[in-house]
Amino acid sequence: MKIQKQKKGFTLIELLIVIALLGTLAVALLAAIDPFEQFKKGTDTARRN
């Protein structure tokens, strides 16, 4: 009778896919928010007051 080891954890491919998806979502979020534009608006508002 063979004793089988149970595999625990994730494969390298699975981890790379998840990291790629998270990176894509982060880039899309930054493009939507555009922090530099928000900073410029805040600076312009402060200058006008």
Q: What's the whole-number average pLDDT of the chain? A: 85
Question: Which pLDDT does position 29 carry in this prediction?
Answer: 92
Q: What is the pTM of this model?
A: 0.59
When pLDDT is cut at 50, 70 and 90, the band that residue 44 belongs to is confident
Give the tens place of pLDDT for each residue, 27-38: 999 888 887 887
Domain residue extents for the chain? 12-46
C-alpha torsion angle, residues 27, 33, 37, 39 (rounded to 10): -110
